[in-house]
């Protein structure tokens, strides 16, 4: 999910980009990792008694997708990182107030144009997509339309959750290019969860994934 430096705030991303060789193996194993117990992605596992859901992070290079994933799953942030080639996999279990547990299978995808043909592999059977942009980069916000269409056209689910995440909200207000009103308007148009996050400070990250898990549970019902 990034440019040669996928930064999620005024800092950088995290060190878990894959090499081209490992990216190819990763793409081959997408279905193995996500089709847990061969169940429907919105179904609950009879063994684990939790809801399983595949989540993909989409967006241009440099917006901080990798750093958001690392902050959420490992509570880590690093100023240095490698570019994500293809996709990288993490998982996290969310326990909601109503007692439901949701196991999120999180795929962090590369946003560079030269890797976009590989990224399309990760849309399949996704229960949710987080479309990320950098609030200090208007070009990354313009690209959100591309990523929304990619998800709609390539995901084989009739119903899925989409979230719009404006990352790097820790930057100085003078550096902000995308207002909250702009992101709210777009998210309402597409019935998306709307959030602003900082992978650097952790602001908004936990709440974003919690809202996604809650909406996945509602879709299941």
3-state helix, strand, coil in the chain (%, to 5): 35, 20, 45
Q: Mark residue 57 as left, alpha or beta (left: phi above 0; alpha: psi -120 to 50; beta: remaining).
A: beta
Residue 119: HSE in the Cβ half-sphere, 13 Å Cα cutoff: 23
DSSP 8-state assignment for residue 173: G
Tens-digit pLDDT profile for residues 148-190: 999 999 998 989 999 999 999 999 999 999 999 999 999 999 9
Taken in order of first residue, the domains within the chain and their CATH numbers are: 20-220 (3.40.50.300)
Q: Is the pTM of this model over 0.85?
A: no
pLDDT at 42 (0 to 100): 52
CA distance 10 to 121: 30
* Model pLDDT for residues 26-35, shown as the tens digit of each residue: 444 454 454 4
Cα–Cα dist 143/133, whole Å: 8
**pLDDT digit of tens for each residue in the chain (221 aa)?**
433 334 333 333 322 233 444 444 444 445 445 444 434 445 444 444 799 999 999 999 999 999 999 999 999 997 666 555 556 899 999 999 999 999 999 999 875 655 666 677 888 899 999 999 999 999 999 999 999 999 999 998 989 999 999 999 999 999 999 999 999 999 999 999 999 999 999 999 999 999 999 999 999 87
H or E, element range at 24: helix 20-28
Q: Are 217 and 100 in contact (CB under 8 A)?
A: yes
DSSP string computed for 185-210 = HHHHHTT-EEEE--TTT-TTHHHHHH
């Amino acid at each position: 999910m990034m440019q040669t430096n996928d930064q999620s705030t005024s800092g950088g991303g995290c060190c878990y980009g894959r090499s081209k060789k490992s990216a190819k193996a990763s793409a081959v194993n997408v279905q193995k990792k996500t089709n847990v117990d061969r169940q429907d992605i919105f179904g609950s596992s009879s063994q684990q008694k939790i809801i399983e859901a595949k989540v993909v992070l989409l967006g241009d290079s440099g917006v901080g997708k990798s750093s958001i994933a690392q902050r959420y799953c490992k509570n880590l942030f690093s100023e240095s990182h490698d570019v994500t080639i293809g996709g990288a996999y993490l998982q996290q279990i969310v326990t909601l107030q109503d007692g439901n547990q949701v196991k999120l299978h999180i795929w962090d995808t590369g946003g560079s144009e030269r890797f976009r043909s590989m990224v399309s592999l990760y849309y399949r059977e996704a229960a949710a997509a987080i479309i990320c942009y950098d609030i200090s980069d208007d070009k990354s916000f313009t690209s959100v339309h591309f990523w929304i269409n990619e998800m709609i056209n390539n995901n084989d689910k009739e119903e899925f959750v989409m979230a719009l995440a404006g990352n790097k909200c820790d930057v100085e207000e003078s550096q902000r290019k995308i207002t909250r009103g702009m992101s709210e308007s777009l998210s309402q148009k597409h019935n998306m969860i709307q959030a602003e996050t900082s992978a650097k400070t952790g602001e908004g990250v936990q709440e974003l994934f919690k809202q996604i898990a809650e909406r996945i549970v509602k879709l299941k019902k």
